[in-house]
Structure 1
Amino acid sequence: MSTQQSLFLIVVLIVASGFFSMAEIALAASRRIRLRQLAADGDQRAPKVLQMQEQPGDYFTVVQVAQNGIAILGGIIGEGAFSPFISSVLAHWLDSKHASTLGFWISFLLITSLFILFSDILPKRLSMAEPERVAMRVYRPMLLVITLLKPLVWFYSKISDLVFKVLGLPMLRDERITSEDILAMTEAGTQAGVLAQNEQRVIANLFDLDNRLVTSAMTARDRIAFFLQNDSDALIRARIGAEPYSTYPVCDRDIDHVIGYVDAQDLLQRALNNQPISLSDDSLLQKALVIPDRLSLAETLEQFRQAGEDFAVVVNEYSLVVGVVTLNDVMSTVMGDLIGPDDEELIVQRDEHSWLIDGITPIEDVVHALHIAEFPHFEDYDTMAGFLMVMLRRIPRRTDSVNWGGYKFEVMDVDSYRIDQVLVTRLCAEGQEPKEQETASLGAPSP
């Protein structure tokens, strides 16, 4: 075989090997979601590629048989084409034995480099850039090769299937899409500029609905504006003006005996028409939806849907009212800053290394704001105040502090055993591993 023929065959083998490298990576990297979209748009090739992904055994067997055969053949032809020429050149400076040995190794490195570069690295990088497009272009030639090599394909496929069964390994890849997969895609989209950061936050909040309890979104017991059933007309009118809300619970004797609720619009309509307001009037009083405090926000939404309500009273296992929640509270948790900041922000960043956090702030919001991997005893509390109580093992006092995850949590203000404000300060420099140990320091009793 002449040198020109050998070089031509090497080029053909490199191109063929590059084709199989592209075919291998294209099928493995093709996203099923993208292929389904292309199939829905009418591309007839996309369903064929999806079918190949479901049964990839024959496909990858052909790729491996072809690539290994081409590599061996390329080495034989390459050594015969380059080694004599290189050895003859080196013979001008070296004896024939050393020139022959060195010529062999140089030809080996040359042919190996050509195959690595032009039949492996470049084709695979091209396939990774547009895997679905490449997969749809190569599937017809691959079907032809699979048909031509059917006996070899059958033999190697059966052997590999047997090995998989003996080792107990899965033979089909798991195509289930998890919430982590979707969140990873949205984060990648945000980094690429396809999604706005607020939009990515909304999607993440949607997946948090199953993990966050209703207590993280409710109005706490001590902040509920409510009426007693026997409240006077004047008291009702005064409270509407002082504490304007859309809905008010109506109670008998105290807040733990809720008998219903009234809509602020109904009260205002009577006030504007100079009609007397009496909460004993059945036309004003509506039945309240009562839900347990262990419900998730997703379950709370389902309760609202089933009852056709947008207001609920939250009670604990002792039938004591712990708060009230509205549909708007849940949606505000999901939408975040997209619907505008709250009048009173629960987390205020003072500077790069410190935050002022309200005691009733849901612990999930603290996790997102501080980027702490996890809090200790996470299942035992719902708020920033609860975290401090669990860590200190008592009712916190002003200047009490806890160190966790590279941050210092210091109680700044306490009102009737309720933690109003917590100052959070970063203890470690940016990029330094946070300390995992917990420490607590005790302050003086509040005056």
Structure 2
Amino acid sequence: MDVIVAIAPWLVAMLLLVAASGMFSASEAAFFYLKLEDRKRFRRGTTAQRAAAALLNDPDRLLSAVLFWNLMINVAYFAVASIVGIRLTDMAGTTYATIFSSVSLLVIIFFSEMLPKSLAVLRAPTLAALLAVPIAFAVRMVDPIRPIMRGVSTLSQRLIWPRFEAEPYMQVSDLERAIQMSMQSSTVLEQEEMALRGIVSLSDSLAQEMMRPRMRFKMFQPPVSLKDLDSEMTPSGYLLIADEQGDDVVSAINLIDATELPEENLEAFAQEVLVFPWCAKASEVFQQMLSTENEVAAVVNELGETIGVITLRDLMETIFSYSHGRSERILQRKTFEEVEPGVYLVSGMTSVRRLSKHFDRELPETRHATINGILQEELERIPEVEDEINWGSFHFEVIEQYSEGHILVRLTLLPEES
């Protein structure tokens, strides 16, 4: 009994330290497990939710502060545990001290790391909003010593790795070779190889090759209501809102992930779209979408006119689906449908780059990005059914034409000598 009374204050201190450590561990998991939709909602939410969103604007500052406090608390916990262990050794013997040390280690592992982080992952939005204010105060307390922490980190790197040099930037060709080597050694799973190929395709593609053409999506002029949709999902999955003249896309709403929408004035809840020129890299569009949390980009020509849109969902499907072509994504048909040996049915919107890669043939120089553009250049007019041209080692014949400006072409491979 005397032993318990003697160590009771230290045990209370250890419990408080475990609770504090658990709070910081839970906050780390909760903040960084928030989804994109949660962060957007937090920016328009309560004071605590807005505070959580503000902390995530500088994730390095947030993470360094959380890890600093967690480290300090854990050090204090083990210091107190050492004091209690010494007293138990003196008052009750080594056996009790050893048991106490083992139990104290298991307590901090389970109650300050495993349990808090597991609960935080399951209830990330709730815990992030609940802990936002105390964590924001803790972050501000660490701000004055952050320059010292950065200096110590830099000095440590110079002392431990004085000759450390950053590796050169990986080129797309390096990634393609890595994919080929991984296929030969079977070290990359099929899904991982598919994703890598999708990333490479983004690096090689232009915005106009990935976009949904103007004729393949519908814009709505404000004011927009749910009745305007006629209870149907748009082909892109987004409600695209035009300017007052109805010429350009200015904002969009993700209809697939939306949980609650008002009946009227939907444009008030729309997010402004990004704008890219037709010659921008698709990988740049994707990177900008991720950094700004915008899901739709308008593609414009040299006159600033909207000629198409790219959605985040389109880019993700390009990366994580087996079919990376625009025809599969928009027209729901195979890009190259072989009808007989050497003869294929292809869409007019198929990109010249994809044509070259699929058949591994040298192509004539052209400023156009699609088969449709090549036909227009060679014919000097809009292609019509039964129009035929030879272009390089390909023979194109228009066999179908649709009102939306889409054409279906019969592609015949010619001997490369011709």
TM-score (norm 2): 0.51
CA distance in 2, matches of 1:194, 1:266: 35
CA distance in 2, matches of 1:312, 1:242: 19
Residue 204 of structure 2, aligned match among 167, 192, 211: 211
Paired residue secondary structure (2:232): helix
1:237 equivalent to 2:229? Answer yes
Residues 286 and 312, structure 2, Cα contact 8 Å, conserved in 1: yes
CA distance in 2, matches of 1:314, 1:246: 17
* Counterparts in 2 of 1:266 and 1:425: CA distance versus 1, 3 Å: closer
CA distance in 1, matches of 2:257, 2:291: 24
Amino acid at match of 1:382: A
- Deviation of residue 329 (structure 1)? 1.6
Counterpart for residue 341 of structure 2: 352
* Counterparts in 2 of 1:409 and 1:188: CA distance versus 1, 3 Å: farther
Counterpart for residue 67 of structure 2: none
Residue 393 of structure 1, aligned match among 380, 393, 406: 380
- Deviation of residue 177 (structure 1)? 7.2
Paired residue secondary structure (1:210): helix
- Deviation of residue 352 (structure 1)? 2.9
Residues 212 and 310, structure 2, Cα contact 8 Å, conserved in 1: yes
Residue 286 of structure 2, aligned match among 301, 307, 310: 301
* Counterparts in 2 of 1:193 and 1:233: CA distance versus 1, 3 Å: closer
Superposition map of 1:178-257 within 5 A: 179-191=172-184, 200=193, 202-231=195-224, 233-234=226-227, 236-238=228-230, 240-241=231-232, 243=234, 245-257=236-248
* Counterparts in 2 of 1:384 and 1:310: CA distance versus 1, 3 Å: same
Residues 360 and 384, structure 1, Cα contact 8 Å, conserved in 2: yes
The structure that has the greater radius of gyration is 1
Q: Deviations over 1:87-145 (max 9, x none)?
A: xxxxxxxxxxxxxxxxxxxxxxxxxxxxxxxxxxxxxxxxxxxxxxxxxxxxxxxxxxx
* Counterparts in 2 of 1:365 and 1:202: CA distance versus 1, 3 Å: farther
1:310 equivalent to 2:299? Answer no
Residues 249 and 258, structure 1, Cα contact 8 Å, conserved in 2: yes
Amino acid at match of 1:392: L
* Counterparts in 2 of 1:211 and 1:185: CA distance versus 1, 3 Å: closer
Paired residue secondary structure (1:411): strand
CA distance in 2, matches of 1:420, 1:325: 21
CA distance in 2, matches of 1:320, 1:176: 35
CA distance in 1, matches of 2:295, 2:307: 18
Paired residue secondary structure (1:276): coil
Q: Where in structure 2 are there 5+ consecutive unaligned residues?
A: 1-167
* Counterparts in 2 of 1:198 and 1:368: CA distance versus 1, 3 Å: farther
Residues 262 and 285, structure 1, Cα contact 8 Å, conserved in 2: yes
Residues 216 and 404, structure 2, Cα contact 8 Å, conserved in 1: no
* Counterparts in 2 of 1:178 and 1:303: CA distance versus 1, 3 Å: closer
Counterpart for residue 270 of structure 2: 285
Residues 395 and 417, structure 1, Cα contact 8 Å, conserved in 2: no
- Deviation of residue 391 (structure 1)? 3.0
Residues 273 and 295, structure 2, Cα contact 8 Å, conserved in 1: no
* Counterparts in 2 of 1:294 and 1:336: CA distance versus 1, 3 Å: same
* Counterparts in 2 of 1:306 and 1:356: CA distance versus 1, 3 Å: same
Q: Which moved more, 1:323-332 or 1:215-224?
A: 323-332
Counterpart for residue 335 of structure 1: 320
CA distance in 2, matches of 1:291, 1:310: 13
- When the two structures are aligned, how many residues end up with a matched partner? 247
Residues 315 and 321, structure 1, Cα contact 8 Å, conserved in 2: yes
Amino acid at match of 2:365: H
* Counterparts in 2 of 1:177 and 1:326: CA distance versus 1, 3 Å: closer
Residues 252 and 270, structure 2, Cα contact 8 Å, conserved in 1: yes
Paired residue secondary structure (2:350): coil
CA distance in 1, matches of 2:340, 2:229: 43
Q: Where in structure 1 are there 5+ consecutive unaligned residues?
A: 1-174, 429-433, 438-447
* Counterparts in 2 of 1:410 and 1:314: CA distance versus 1, 3 Å: same
Q: Deviations over 1:22-54 (max 9, x none)?
A: xxxxxxxxxxxxxxxxxxxxxxxxxxxxxxxxx
CA distance in 2, matches of 1:388, 1:305: 36
Paired residue secondary structure (1:180): helix
Amino acid at match of 1:377: E
Superposition map of 1:58-69 within 5 A: none
Q: Deviations over 1:303-334 (max 9, x none)?
A: 21332212111111212111111122223333
Paired residue secondary structure (2:266): coil
1:427 equivalent to 2:414? Answer yes
Counterpart for residue 371 of structure 2: 384
TM-score (norm 1): 0.48
Paired residue secondary structure (1:300): helix
- Deviation of residue 195 (structure 1)? 5.3
The alignment yields a C-alpha RMSD, in angstroms, of 3.3
Residues 396 and 412, structure 2, Cα contact 8 Å, conserved in 1: yes
